[in-house]
Amino acid sequence: MSYDLYIGDYAYSSWSLRGWLLVHRFGLNARNIMIPFSKQDVAEQMADIGTARTVPTLVCNDGAVVSESAAIAEELAARHPDAGIWPSDPKARATARTLLTEMASGFTALRGDCPMSLRVCYSDAAPSGAVLADLARLEEIWSNARAQRTSDGPWLLGEYSAADAFFAPVAGRIAGYSLPVGTDAATYVAAHLADPAFRRWRAMGLVHGPDLPWYRKDYPQSDWPGPTPRAAKAVEAETSENDKCPYSGKTPTHFMEMDGRTFGFCNPFCRDKTVADPEAWPAFMALV
């Protein structure tokens, strides 16, 4: 079973990150369709997709349109009961649903004052009292959830679940704005920053689309605290080390540069996939 997943800009769309993780973190298949925030109104760009007017929106192969992240979580869990989207333990599952619902409807100060912006890290965002209160609430509910874990590991309820997918953008905000949290919460944030799926999403955000000035904050900046993607970039070129695209076998028409070497691909998607995905490089290098 495959899906069409409509998402907004990788660097800025926190809800799209949640929807993308609900698909890709659990091994499901979807074609990603970008709705750029830099162009016309999102609702106008999605006018032909049923009643959907927001990202993320999931379109199922039977025509069902699901356009709220919490609903996407429930629908995917119902269609793929063995994917692990919800914890199998009833108590943990109830806690996960509660966490997801609170995240979807709460933390308005954190979301308003610190919009997700994965291209930068601010060393001092001078958080307001309301933001600090949101952080304290996050630490409380995260600690309560981790006390119920049925297995070891960095995630809230043992194995990665929909609850963790919903808090991934929060981890990005805490890291990106250098917000103060205790040791346990910082460890949980670090787990998200090191998670291959989160790294892949952020890496795509570094190379896809323009900087959007309405997300920019006038705070001092510092280096991103999580793992750093290897430096690669799309370039204009006429020749490459490989004479065939490693994904399709076709003649290269688009190119990237990495470590002083130029590689070719048959289309921008194949190129940008490799540019954006640090986990793909070992396999890619073996192909070329």
With 80 as the cut, is the pLDDT of residue 1 above it? no
pLDDT of residue 272: 82
Q: What is the pLDDT of residues 98-127, one digit of tens each?
A: 999 999 999 999 999 999 999 999 999 999
Residue range 191-217: mean pLDDT, rounded: 91
Q: How confident is the model at residue 145 (pLDDT cuts 50, 70, 90)?
A: very high
With 70 as the cut, is the pLDDT of residue 223 above it? yes
pLDDT of residue 220: 97
DSSP string spanning 194-236? Answer: H-HHHHHHHHHHHHSS---GGG---S-EE--SSPPPPPEEEE-
Q: How far is CA 224 from CA 6, 28, 96, 116, in A?
A: 27, 29, 29, 13
pLDDT of residue 283: 66
With 90 as the cut, is the pLDDT of residue 228 above it? no
With 80 as the cut, is the pLDDT of residue 29 above it? yes
Q: How confident is the model at residue 221 (pLDDT cuts 50, 70, 90)?
A: very high
Residue range 149-163: mean pLDDT, rounded: 92
Residue range 189-211: mean pLDDT, rounded: 90
3-state helix, strand, coil in the chain (%, to 5): 45, 15, 45
pLDDT of residue 282: 66
The structure's pTM equals 0.87
pLDDT of residue 86: 98
**Listed residue (201, 255, 209) closest to 229, CA to CA:** 201
pLDDT of residue 23: 96
Between CA 68 and CA 71 the distance in angstroms is: 5
| Beta-strand relationship, 29-34 and 2-7 | parallel
With 90 as the cut, is the pLDDT of residue 200 above it? no
What Rg do the C-alpha atoms of the chain give, in angstroms?
20
Average confidence score pLDDT of the chain = 92
**Listed residue (76, 64, 1, 75) closest to 31, CA to CA:** 1
Q: How confident is the model at residue 204 (pLDDT cuts 50, 70, 90)?
A: confident
Coil, strand or helix: which one is 5?
strand
